Amino acid sequence: MKNFKLDNIYSIVCNWKNRRNGFKHTANLYKNGLSIYETKICYLNRTWERFEYESILTKVITKYFNDKEKENYLQVIKDII
């Protein structure tokens, strides 16, 4: 499990789980400590991400936030890594 703090309000907690045919990444978006959005991505084999959880973090941010917030939080993630 890995926690990515976006700011004082939002954070994303990512996790991975084994599956019969591969593995999956899950992510929960928290606002002030309360879970407000959850998503997953299933993989059949090895992925080629620049950093661990890159795809799931991008998915959470692009699906939940508006365009202005999206650009800001994507930059925060890049700066964290």
pLDDT recorded at residue 46: 66
pLDDT recorded at residue 44: 83
* CB contact set of 48 (below 8 Å; sequence gap of 6+): none
pLDDT digits (tens, 9 = 90+) for 42-63: 988 766 777 889 999 999 999 9
Q: Other C-beta atoms within 10 Å of 33: how many? A: 7
Q: Name which of 5-9, 13-17, 42-46, 58-62 the model is least confident about.
A: 42-46
Pull the structure tokens for residue 11: 């954070």
pLDDT recorded at residue 52: 86
Q: What is the mean pLDDT of the chain?
A: 92
| Higher-scoring residue by pLDDT: 81, 23 | 23
Enclosing domain of residue 33:
2-80
Structural domains of the chain, count = 1
Pull the structure tokens for residue 2: 């890995």
Pull the structure tokens for residue 36: 């407000």
Are 49 and 26 contacting, i.e. CB atoms less than 8 angstroms apart?
no
